Amino acid sequence: MSARQPRPDMPSTDQDDRYLATTHEVFNQPPVLENYNLFQQDIALQEAALREGAKSATADLKAFGALAGAAETIDLGFRANANKPTFNTHDRFGHRVDEVDFHPAYHELMRIAFDNGLHSSPWSQPGQGAHVTRAAKYYMHSQVEAAHCCPVTMTFAAIPSIRKQPELAADWEARILANDYDPRNLPDSQKSSVTIGMAMTEKQGGSDVRANSTKAYPVAAKGAGQAYELAGHKWFVSAPMCDAFLVLAQTQGGLSCFLMPRWRPDGTKNPWQVQRLKNKMGNIANASSEAELRGALAWMVGEEGRGVPTIIEMVAMTRFDCMIGSSAGMRQAVAQATHHCRHRSAFGARLIEQPLMQNVLADLALESEAALAYTMRIARALDNQDREHERLLARLATPVGKYWICKRTPNHAYEAMECIGGSGVMEDCIMPRLFRESPVNAIWEGSGNVQCLDTLRALQKEPETLDAFFREAAEAKGADRRFDQFLAQLQHDFADISDFQYRARNLVDRMALVMQASLLIRHSDKAVTDAFCATRLQSGGGMNYGNLPSGTDPVAILKRATPVVG
Ligand SMILES: Cc1cc2nc3c(=O)[nH]c(=O)nc-3n(C[C@H](O)[C@H](O)[C@H](O)COP(=O)(O)OP(=O)(O)OC[C@H]3O[C@@H](n4cnc5c(N)ncnc54)[C@H](O)[C@@H]3O)c2cc1C
């Protein structure tokens, strides 16, 4: 019987009572944001990909955008996070296995990432737009599910460090770059595709890795490329099912970098023992662990005592991916918030038409577009490291961007959640996941202050980086009075950096803003540029989102940012 049919047991005279089974009609709720193309529905992304050198990849990016936005892919993200990875030290017969069990949805997301070269393409197919194309894909994939992107990033980022030891690279590189994801817990010699993790952080020192206490003892000869056994512990090791890890440990010659496989070449388990999984507030689908090394076999990568300069090549790439990941989190938050408000009415109008909500949404959209513009510009710099300007720019702009973009994300996620109202807090909406994920990028791979200190280190070691940074920013000079003044003041404030450490956050904040403004002025819509300069370069008083002054054009900003679905 349909809900609208009269109930035979009710007296036919009472019309209202006969329909009691139909409590209400559901209306004024948005359709699910799915089955949309994350590339074609993102104007800023399309423009950035084209501008920064990925024109020839347009068809590929469109196809990937459709895959990322498919309902089935989005569902994988939910399922991978609803099921935390579990850990077993031993199998049921008592053999030590150190095995993490992930939900099949996690493996499927990994398979999509590897299939599409998110861990490999700029190395296996370098050239014009390679980093830009990969960054655009990673940006879309990370919007669907961010946690599994951690091992994708580490595998990708390991290449520059491993290449420092050519015979190790010859053994490992082809398998690292292979696109057929293989999660089996087997010796790497039996696998044609492997994943790589990193183990630096210890209990007594994370940011300050020089405090590492793990020791490395040579098996026979000492030095680069030689075999060592490692003894000690690591306090954070994400993706512990990786086939090998870059590890920092102390030798007599100082802190050195090692490549440590999970299995020994003779097929026995390397005594690298996971103690337990971290109980994380976010980044749920990905496992992170605590581990002990009990004579684990490993090979030295790079020179003895030069562990930090060796692994920093990997860290620089992971920091870049943190920028992509946080930009992606902001984009997904804007997509969710604008989509909701486009379909939801309150007090007689759609929320996206209510002036106060327009102001909040447009402000969120500005933040997201500025983050993307900055990230994609650095992707182009990575594609052109043979040019001195691009090399210097990437060196300085990476810690600045990693600090700023990752730090802007948590409040952005929360504000976007509030645009959705109560449903935005519910676990069947992606917003709680975006919110819980949002602090992670800011903390790992060098927390905020550490990025500011790295900015200072770059300035001190290579003062030309600052010239390159300002040269790039100044390309927008003359187009906006507010920008010109902001740039001039910042350049003036760099005249004396004697107390840089104390003032670092303020200076680095403004570096990020001046670069974002420069990029938007040169490349974005006038409404976006104008509102960005008005709110970020000129003090308007307010601290929260929703501070666009009168005269700005939120409708144009939102037209650019809102996915049209349903
Ligand atoms: C989910 C997750 C996964 C992780 N996975 C890995 C992994 O796979 N491999 C790995 O090696 N590590 C991993 N980490 C560890 C992470 O990189 C560290 O937590 C991070 O580097 C900070 O180190 P710490 O926790 O020891 O904090 P600390 O180094 O004690 O820093 C605490 C605070 O002090 C600040 N600080 C430090 N030095 C200074 C200074 N001189 N001046 C001013 N401020 C300073 C820092 O910015 C930070 O805010 C992971 C962390 C998380 C949260």
> Pocket around ligand 1: residues whose beta carbon is below 6 Å from it?
197-201, 206-208, 236-238, 280, 283, 288, 440, 443-450, 453
Q: Radius of gyration of the chain from Cα atoms?
A: 25
Asked if residue 16 has pLDDT above 70, the reply is: no
Q: Which of 42, 45, 36, 31 is nearest to 67 (CA)?
A: 36
Asked if residue 496 has pLDDT above 90, the reply is: no
Find out whether 344 and 30 touch, Cβ atoms under 8 Å: yes
All structural domains of the chain, each given as residue ranges with its CATH number in brackets, are 43-304 (2.40.110.20), 309-561 (1.20.140.10)
Ligand 1 pocket: which of 447, 455, 505 to mutate (most atoms within 8 A of CB): 447
Mean pLDDT within 358-364: 98
pLDDT band of 18, cuts 50, 70, 90 = low
Beta-bridged to residue 233, according to DSSP, are 292
User: What's the pLDDT at 497?
Assistant: 82
Asked if residue 340 has pLDDT above 70, the reply is: yes
Mean pLDDT within 78-106: 96
User: What's the pLDDT at 10?
Assistant: 54
CA-closest residue to ligand 1 atom 11: 200
Question: Which ligand 1 atom minimizes the distance to the CA of 202?
Answer: 26
Asked if residue 65 has pLDDT above 60, the reply is: yes
Continuous H helices in 273-387 = 307-343, 355-383
Residue 282: what are its φ and ψ, rounded to 5°?
Answer: -135, -170
Span 441-491, pLDDT tens digits = 999 999 999 999 999 999 999 999 999 999 999 999 999 999 999 999 999
DSSP letter for 270, please.
P
pLDDT band of 3, cuts 50, 70, 90 = very low
User: What's the pLDDT at 2?
Assistant: 44
What would the two tokens of residue 4 be? Answer: 């609208």
**pLDDT over 90 for what percent of the chain?**
94
Question: Which ligand 1 atom minimizes the distance to the CA of 501?
Answer: 42
**Cα(227)–Cα(249) distance, rounded to whole angstroms?**
13
Q: How far is the CA of 506 from the centre of ligand 1 (A)?
A: 21
CA-closest residue to ligand 1 atom 23: 206
254-261 and 272-277 beta bridge pairing: unpaired
Q: How far is the CA of 205 from the centre of ligand 1 (A)?
A: 8
Distance of CA 208 to the CA centre of its chain: 23
Asked if residue 4 has pLDDT above 70, the reply is: no
pTM for the predicted model, two decimal places: 0.96
Q: Can you give 271-294 as a three-state secondary structure string?
A: CEEEEEECCCCCCCCCCEEEEEEE
Question: Which ligand 1 atom minimizes the distance to the CA of 200?
Answer: 11
CA-closest residue to ligand 1 atom 5: 238
What would the two tokens of residue 209 be? Answer: 């890795």
DSSP letter for 450, please.
H
Q: How far is the CA of 292 from the centre of ligand 1 (A)?
A: 19
Q: How far is the CA of 209 from the centre of ligand 1 (A)?
A: 10
Least confident span in 106-115, 166-175, 404-413, 496-505: 496-505
User: What's the pLDDT at 1?
Assistant: 39
CA-closest residue to ligand 1 atom 51: 444
Q: How far is the CA of 319 from the centre of ligand 1 (A)?
A: 13
Q: How would DSSP label each residue in 384-422?
A: TTTSHHHHHHHHHHHHHHHHHHHHHHHHHHHHHHHHHGG
CA-closest residue to ligand 1 atom 49: 447
User: What's the pLDDT at 25?
Assistant: 94
| Mean of all residue pLDDT scores within the chain | 95
215-218 and 345-346 beta bridge pairing: unpaired
pLDDT band of 20, cuts 50, 70, 90 = confident
Question: Which ligand 1 atom minimizes the distance to the CA of 207?
Answer: 29
Span 186-198, pLDDT tens digits = 999 999 999 999 9
Asked if residue 6 has pLDDT above 90, the reply is: no
Q: How far is the CA of 441 from the centre of ligand 1 (A)?
A: 11
Q: How far is the CA of 288 from the centre of ligand 1 (A)?
A: 14
pLDDT band of 349, cuts 50, 70, 90 = very high
**Cα(37)–Cα(32) distance, rounded to whole angstroms?**
14
Mean pLDDT within 407-431: 98
Question: Which ligand 1 atom minimizes the distance to the CA of 449?
Answer: 47
Ligand 1 pocket: which of 84, 149, 207, 406 to mutate (most atoms within 8 A of CB): 207
